[in-house]
Amino acid sequence: MERIVQCALCDGQAELIVEKKEREFRKEKFVISEHFYKCENCGQDFTTSELDQIDTLQVYNQYREKYKSSSLPRSDH
C-alpha cells in the first residue's frame, strides 16, 4: 500500500492515514486500525479496495479469535 497517492477526486496528493475506529459486525463492536487517504488539496477522505479489504479482515480476524471460528475468510494481516 502506498503512503502517498494521487487524489481520486481532484488530482492532488493524498496521504495514508491510520486511525483507531470502532466497527460493528454481527451486532458486536470491534476496534480496528482504519486506513484511508486524505487529500492535502481538497481535504476529502477516500479509500481503495485494498484498504477496505485490510479493514474488513481486521474485524473478521477479531471475531474469529473471539469465537475460534474458521468460517470467515482468513488473512495474515
Domain boundaries, the chain: 4-67
**pLDDT value of position 13:** 97
Cα–Cα distance, 42 to 13 (Å, whole number)? 9
Q: Which three cell numbers stand for residue 25?
A: 459486525
**pLDDT value of position 11:** 86
Query: How would you write the pLDDT of the chain (77 residues) with one tens digit per residue?
Result: 899 999 988 989 999 999 999 999 999 999 999 999 999 999 999 999 999 999 999 999 999 999 886 565 666 55
CATH for 4-67 (4.10.280, 3.10.20, 3.30.70, 1.10.246)? 3.10.20
Structural element, H or E, at residue 66: helix 49-67
Q: In which residue are the cell numbers 487517504 written?
A: 37
**pLDDT value of position 72:** 58
Cβ atoms within 10 A of the Cβ of 35, count? 20
Are the C-beta atoms of residues 42 and 34 closer than 8 Å to each other?
Answer: no
pTM: 0.80
